[in-house]
Amino acid sequence: MNILAIDTSNQVLGIAIVKDNKPIGEMKTNIAKNHSVRLMPAIDQLMRDVSITPDELDQIVVAKGPGSYTGVRIGLATAKSMAWALEIPVIGVSSLEVLAYQGRFFNGYICPFFDARRGLVYSAVYEWKNGQPEVVYKEENLLMADLLENLAQEDKPVLFLSPDIDIYMDAINTQLGKQAVIPELAFHVADASHLVLAGTRKQAEPTHALTPNYLRLAEAEAKWLKQQKEQQNNE
Amino acid sequence: MKNDTIILGIETSCDETAVAIVKNGTTIVSNVVASQIESHKRFGGVVPEIASRHHVEQMTLVLEEAFAKAELTWDEIDAIAVTEGPGLVGALLIGVNTAKALAFAKQKPLVGVHHIAGHIYANRLETEFQFPLLALIVSGGHTELVLMKEHGSYEVIGETRDDAAGEAYDKVARMLSLPYPGGPQIDRLAAEGEANINFPRAWLEEGSYDFSFSGLKSSVINTIHNASQRGEELKSQDIAASFQSSVVDVLVSKTLRAAKEYKVKQVIVAGGVAANSGLRNALKDAFADTEVPLLIPPLKLCTDNAAMIAAAGTIAYEQGKRASWDLNANPSLILE
Ligand SMILES: [Zn+2]
């Protein structure tokens, strides 16, 4: 069983190949460079390195967001098209859930997040139970201030995981003090091989049905819906 | 022994998710276009983020339909051709990354295609090319005169210095409060009106094949504005007819002059605005007195589609051009 995992949903570009539950190849960069240019050469190289050809793949797992809209789409367009052409299943995993795997052995709440600008974050809160991350707070696009306020009411320590941790370090420490646990930077980027772990707990959807997990409407769409509502109220 | 060249084409440069399969660059095997126009109508124009969202949702469905209609297998596909630019970058990215993923999965050669080359090659699905040929490309994003001396060689002899003709149509349509897309609406109104307002024609400097439509656009705005200040009501049919006649006049004159200067054997009209009946009729009249055959593809090949990308890609493939795995979307790709 050969599985290819792809994550281009945020700044990190991660790919992994897992053979019979064993990660045999992984590549990860955490630099601001173009995913569209680099993804396919990276897949080609990694598959050569581990001597697996495309037609030997049995499944693809992809990080479906939240994150960069464009990044998420590059990953999904690639994963869906490959899976469709090879007639193998494709599984989409939340980009927050895969990041939560970095807190696998933490006793308390695990809070992965991505910066969504203007004080907003994409985040969720998990707790490890029965060998898997169980959702405590569901995925949401909300103000970091609101998230921290909610977490401050909890009586458990909270592990924060984020490639954007620098932006909110002060806010977290101020609000939560000793309740907050912030590990070294090496723990704040997801491993693509963990996508495969998360994927094994999920059912593959039909390839056509796999859509990005934006957690947010397109700006034009949100505006349009608001206008429609206002018009209805005025009538 | 297999003699046919069969190319899979993918096009996502704007708001159409399109996949097609073409044989030998001349015969459509299947041609599927998922239009998003209904979704963008409510915004009065194409919203790039919405377009990208639709593309990623539609792509594998459109692929499946194109293969189902073609009734052939991957073994028969020689290469994959994709629009690499110009266009909306987020939209282009879906096509480019899809094409790369398919080419990698099935270990097929990959070819990048310029969107305008595609529009020109839409004509080869109807009539074989004879060189030298002149192509007039008019669409929402382009107004260009391209000279071709042989397959795969493009010399841009004239282009717009500001707005594309289609852009000017959309803006004037908005001034007249016509629904999106405005081009066909203006064309319809123009047929009912009289070209009795003398809008300017931008001929530019002597001998130039370039175009400019921003002056015309401003003149239309001013004319409407001044009339309303005087309390006069201009008939929108007449505005449409006068505007259209200014655009068409310049397009037809320059095309005719270039055709004569370069002694071309064919004149090709391509792009979405080639669907415009005012332009079609004026071109037909102008070229009726010449020896040069005028080729205008049927409507569904004028607008964005992937058969044209596969057709242009066939030539690039036969000429040995190949894209590598780092192929990227290029929103301002130059035709060369
Ligand atoms: Zn076009």
A199 and A86 in one domain? yes
Q: What is the mean pLDDT of residues B167-177?
A: 90
Given the structure tokens 């656009």, which residue do they identify? B217
Q: How many domains does chain A have?
A: 2
Query: B41: pLDDT confidence band, cut at 50, 70 and 90?
Result: confident
Q: Which DSSP helix (H) or strand (E) runs through B157?
A: strand B155-159
- Give A153 to chain B, closest Cα distance, Å: 38
Is B129 in a helix, a strand, or coil? coil
CATH number of the structural domain spanning residue A12: 3.30.420.40
In a domain? residue A54: yes
Complex ipTM value = 0.96
- Give B121 to chain A, closest Cα distance, Å: 26
Q: What is the mean pLDDT of residues B282-297?
A: 94
Percent of chain B predicted with pLDDT > 70: 99
Query: Max CA-CA distance within chain B?
Result: 76
Q: What is the mean pLDDT of residues B99-126?
A: 97
State residue B1's pLDDT score. Answer: 53
A75 and A158 in one domain? no
**Ligand 1 center to B271 CA (angstroms):** 5
Is B12 in a helix, a strand, or coil? coil
Is A55 in a helix, a strand, or coil? helix
**Ligand 1 center to B82 CA (angstroms):** 13
Q: What is the mean pLDDT of residues A16-32?
A: 96
Percent of chain B predicted with pLDDT > 90: 83
Q: What is the Cα–Cα distance from A72 to A80, expressed in whole angstroms?
A: 12
Does B112 have pLDDT greater than 70?
A: yes
- Which of B100, B322, B324 should one mutate to test binding to chain A, selecting the residue with the greatest count of A CBs within 10 A? B100
A199 and A89 in one domain? yes
Query: A163: pLDDT confidence band, cut at 50, 70 and 90?
Result: very high
Chain A residues in contact with B59 by the CB 8 A cut-off are 77, 80-81
Q: How many C-alpha atoms does B234 have within 13 Å on its Cβ side?
A: 26
A170 and A155 in one domain? yes
Is A230 in a helix, a strand, or coil? helix
Edge-to-edge strand list for the sheet holding B6-11: B27-35, B16-23, B6-11, B79-85, B110-114
Pairs across A and B, CB distance < 8 A? 106
A42 and A7 in one domain? yes
Show the domain range for A33. 2-94+191-223
The answer to whether A12 and A49 have CB atoms below 8 angstroms apart is no
Q: What is the Cα–Cα distance from A170 to B1, expressed in whole angstroms?
A: 70
State residue B182's pLDDT score. Answer: 87
A200 and A184 in one domain? no
A14 and A76 in one domain? yes
Q: What is the Cα–Cα distance from A84 to A78, expressed in whole angstroms?
A: 10
State residue B272's pLDDT score. Answer: 85
A199 and A90 in one domain? yes
Residue B201 CB burial class (10 angstroms; 0-12, 13-18, ≥19): middle
Does A209 have pLDDT greater than 90?
A: yes
Considering only alpha carbons, which residue of chain A is nearest residue B104?
A54
In a domain? residue A235: no
Instruction: Write the DSSP symbol of residue B218.
Output: H
A182 and A100 in one domain? yes
Nearest to A148 by CA among A178, A180, A118: A180
Q: What angle do CA B104, B151, B132 make, to 5 degrees?
A: 160
In a domain? residue A233: no
Cis omega (within 30 of 0) for bond into A66: yes
Instruction: Write the DSSP symbol of residue B46.
Output: -
**Ligand 1 center to B290 CA (angstroms):** 28
State residue B57's pLDDT score. Answer: 96
Say yes or no for a CB contact (<8 Å) between A78 and B97. yes
Say yes or no for a CB contact (<8 Å) between B101 and A211. no
Is B267 in a helix, a strand, or coil? strand
Q: What is the mean pLDDT of residues A13-40?
A: 96
- Phi–psi pair at A171, nearest 5 degrees: -60, -40
Say yes or no for a CB contact (<8 Å) between B49 and A218. yes
The answer to whether B78 and B22 have CB atoms below 8 angstroms apart is no
Q: What angle do CA B127, B148, B210 make, to 5 degrees?
A: 115
Q: What is the Cα–Cα distance from A6 to A77, expressed in whole angstroms?
A: 11
Residue B16's identity, in one-letter code, is E
Chain A contact residues (CB < 8 Å to B)? 34, 36-41, 43-44, 54-55, 69-70, 73-74, 76-82, 84-86, 207-208, 211-212, 214, 218-221, 224
Residue A92 CB burial class (10 angstroms; 0-12, 13-18, ≥19): buried
Say yes or no for a CB contact (<8 Å) between B59 and A224. no
User: Could you tell me whether strands B143-148 and B155-159 are parallel, antiparallel, or unpaired per DSSP bridges?
Assistant: antiparallel
Q: What is the mean pLDDT of residues B228-255?
A: 94
Does A59 have pLDDT greater than 90?
A: yes
- Phi–psi pair at A130, nearest 5 degrees: 50, 40
Q: Which residues of B are annotated as a binding site?
A: 115, 119, 137-141, 170, 183, 187, 276, 304
Chain B residues in contact with A54 by the CB 8 A cut-off are 104-107
A121 and A173 in one domain? yes
In a domain? residue A230: no
A154 and A41 in one domain? no
In a domain? residue A51: yes
Chain B residues in contact with A37 by the CB 8 A cut-off are 326, 328
State residue B2's pLDDT score. Answer: 66
Percent of chain A predicted with pLDDT > 90: 94
Residue B205 CB burial class (10 angstroms; 0-12, 13-18, ≥19): exposed
pTM: predicted TM-score of the whole model, two decimal places: 0.94
Given the structure tokens 């003149």, which residue do they identify? B219
- Phi–psi pair at B248, nearest 5 degrees: -65, -40
Say yes or no for a CB contact (<8 Å) between A218 and B107. no
State residue B20's pLDDT score. Answer: 98
Q: What is the mean pLDDT of residues A93-102?
A: 98
Does B244 have pLDDT greater than 90?
A: yes
How many Cβ atoms are within 10 Å of A77's Cβ, its own excluded? 30
State residue B266's pLDDT score. Answer: 97
Chain B residues in contact with A60 by the CB 8 A cut-off are none
Nearest to B126 by CA among B305, B261, B287: B305
A162 and A49 in one domain? no
Q: What is the pLDDT of residues A117-153, one digit of tens each?
A: 999 999 999 999 999 999 999 999 999 999 999 999 9
In a domain? residue A231: no
State residue B166's pLDDT score. Answer: 87
State residue B219's pLDDT score. Answer: 94
* Average pLDDT, rounded, for chain B: 94
In a domain? residue A234: no
- Strand segments (E) across chain A: 2-7, 12-19, 22-30, 59-63, 90-93, 109-115, 120-129, 132-143, 158-161, 180-181
Query: B45: pLDDT confidence band, cut at 50, 70 and 90?
Result: confident
In a domain? residue A32: yes
**Residue of B52, B101, B328 with shortest CB distance to A81:** B101
Q: Which two tokens stand for residue A200?
A: 């094994």
- Give B171 to chain A, closest Cα distance, Å: 20
